[in-house]
Structure 1
Amino acid sequence: MDRRLTPATDRVALDSLRGVVQRPDYTPGQPARLAVPLADLRAAPDGARDRQLLFGADLTVIERRGDWAFVQAALDGYCGWLRAGTLTEEMPRITHRLSAPASHVYGQPDFKRDERQLLSLGARLSVQGTDGRFAHLATGGYVPLQHISDSPATDPVAVAETLLGTPYLWGGNSRSGIDCSGLVQAALTACDIACPGDTDLQRRAFPQVDQIQRGDLLFWPGHVAMAASADLMIHATAWQMAVIWEPIADAIARIDAAGEGPLLGIHRPDQRLKTRSG
């Protein structure tokens, strides 16, 4: 079973895995939510980063071990360890998402006052009211109304374009740093299209097609890009350490010349697949 998608540690597994995996103990899990702007999801306590979680992410806690918690993300089923202090059991109804590449949470509804937090595209918000040009969050603080939405975006490429120039970060999922699969997941999730977190999982999730159209995904070994047209793509690349546009033909030739090819195929996200985390 894939470690990344298996809600079990060496000690405890979710009740749903009884009879599937053998563990000393099983649990129904404890609902929780990420209460900080960004948290690394790690392969082991204090281990390497696999992915990142954004503010408001819904989680199931499977095991707590000291300062760490092993969780499964509702969005895509990804499992891993994060700092237990980043979690809260307070889970007001999610009403909005951050639709801007990034925004600040202010202590007062005034952009001249000090900011408290920096949120990234896709953060999930509970808005309890408005005050002038700001949304008042149930979790505390104020976010500019221009930066939030209560409905999905409609064009994943346009969403990805808002992250142009974002620095490349292995396992990154935020405006502060993002990798190739993180960019694809952010763009599709903003449009309420379900998408796994890693490149190999994304390639298996979507059907292969022969002709490139806008929104299709192009896969190489360990890399993915999103087509803006039959000739142009957008991707987060360690080659330039940023999110960039690149002609598709140039990318194919460059990656092949570097010995990192070949192009494995073109896959089309299924817009009927809705996210598991509303």
Structure 2
Amino acid sequence: MSDRRLTPFSGRIALETLRGQVAAGAFTEGEPARVILPVVDLSPAPGALRDRQLIFGAAVTVIERRAAAAFVQAAADGYCGWVPAVALGAPARPTHVVSAAATHVYREASIKRGEVMSLSLGARLAVLDEDATFLRIAEGFVPRPHLRPLDPPETDPVAVAERLLGTPYLWGGNSRAGIDCSGLVQLALALCGRACPADSDQQSRAFGDFLPAGTVPRRGDLFFWKGHVTMACDGERLIHANGYTMSVAHEGIGACLARIEAAGDGPFLGLKRPGA
């Protein structure tokens, strides 16, 4: 258990699955919960800078509650960390996902009566009722055009990523409010029903061997550098959340490779094809 990001152990309490592997003061089966705020930081210690973020509807297992914080493990990718306890609510069975770049939850089934919160692409919702215009969730009403059922999943991760063009770059970000390179890739693949780790180093190990040098990129292929990942749109362009434009942007593949090499940010590691 060398990777703390994937180790469900708060330093005092561990999941029962780690019994005999870590010296914990106590073990627990954990408590199911879900994120009920639009977006929340997932941090290595209470109040610390974020490692990643979780968005509305994300399922978690609560391992420890300590004052105003809770140590959790995300169900989607196993990532562990601390979140504010106020960000968690009772678990719910999601039925729909936000498929627009962002949406609002309204107090009533009217766009003129005020909103409760904003939600990002990828937020998972448990729909209770619906009509021709709105779908009702426990927190309010969401415009029908901004949602789609969880099943079947989408089929084109590049098209998903392109909905976030112009989103500001944010280190560790996972939402329309701000996102980083690995967050964009994970979100795009997740909406297409493909499991994907959270950080670029984890992603670089997750999809088999690198393709042979000189392979012509296909739509959806992933380019890796140490600490950076991008997604091919076709054989000439890619999309990525990047610190160069400080946004989610398209870039020519050749131009991106040359720019990163010239900046001295490390060599190109290679190309991978998720699902290949």
Fold-level match, TM-score > 0.5? Answer: yes
Give the aligned partner of residue 219 of structure 2: 214
Could you report, residue by residue, the CA deviation over 1:167-193 in whole angstroms, capped at 9, with x for unpaired residues? 000000000000000000110001010
Q: Does 1:156 align with 2:157?
A: yes
Give the aligned partner of residue 133 of structure 2: 133
Aligned-residue identity in percent = 56
Q: Does 1:98 align with 2:111?
A: no
- Cα separation, 2, equivalents of 1:95 and 1:54: 16
Q: Secondary structure at the match of 2:204?
A: helix
Give the aligned partner of residue 264 of structure 2: 259
Distance apart, 1:209 and its partner CA? 1.6
User: Which shifted more, 259-268 or 197-206?
Assistant: 259-268
**Residues 34 and 92, structure 2, Cα contact 8 Å, conserved in 1:** no
**Residues 182 and 199, structure 2, Cα contact 8 Å, conserved in 1:** yes
Letter in 2 for 1:146: P
Q: Secondary structure at the match of 2:186?
A: helix
Give the aligned partner of residue 145 of structure 2: 146
Q: Secondary structure at the match of 1:209?
A: coil
- Cα separation, 2, equivalents of 1:53 and 1:229: 30
**Residues 252 and 262, structure 1, Cα contact 8 Å, conserved in 2:** no
Give the aligned partner of residue 228 of structure 2: 223
Distance apart, 1:129 and its partner CA? 1.1
Gaps of 5+ in 2: none
Q: 2:249 aligns with which of 244, 248, 251?
A: 244
Q: Does 1:24 align with 2:25?
A: yes
Could you report, residue by residue, the CA deviation over 1:182-232 in whole angstroms, capped at 9, with x for unpaired residues? 000110001010000000000000122232211011001110000011211
User: Which shifted more, 3-12 or 123-132?
Assistant: 123-132
- Cα separation, 1, equivalents of 2:57 and 2:147: 14
Residue-pair matches, total: 269
* Mapping for residues 1-278 of structure 1, pairs under 5 Å: 1-89=2-90, 91-137=91-137, 139-150=138-149, 151=151, 152-207=153-208, 208-210=210-212, 211=215, 212-270=217-275
RMSD of aligned residue pairs (Cα, Å): 1.0
Distance apart, 1:16 and its partner CA? 0.2
Distance apart, 1:113 and its partner CA? 1.7
- Cα separation, 2, equivalents of 1:72 and 1:81: 9
Could you report, residue by residue, the CA deviation over 1:93-152 in whole angstroms, capped at 9, with x for unpaired residues? 211111111000001111122111000011000111113300011x22000110111131
Q: Secondary structure at the match of 1:127?
A: coil
**Residues 133 and 143, structure 2, Cα contact 8 Å, conserved in 1:** yes
Q: Secondary structure at the match of 2:260?
A: helix
Gaps of 5+ in 1: 272-278
- Cα separation, 2, equivalents of 1:103 and 1:224: 27
Q: Secondary structure at the match of 1:164?
A: coil
Letter in 1 for 2:23: Q
Letter in 1 for 2:37: V
Distance apart, 1:267 and its partner CA? 1.0
Distance apart, 1:270 and its partner CA? 2.0
Q: Secondary structure at the match of 1:116?
A: strand
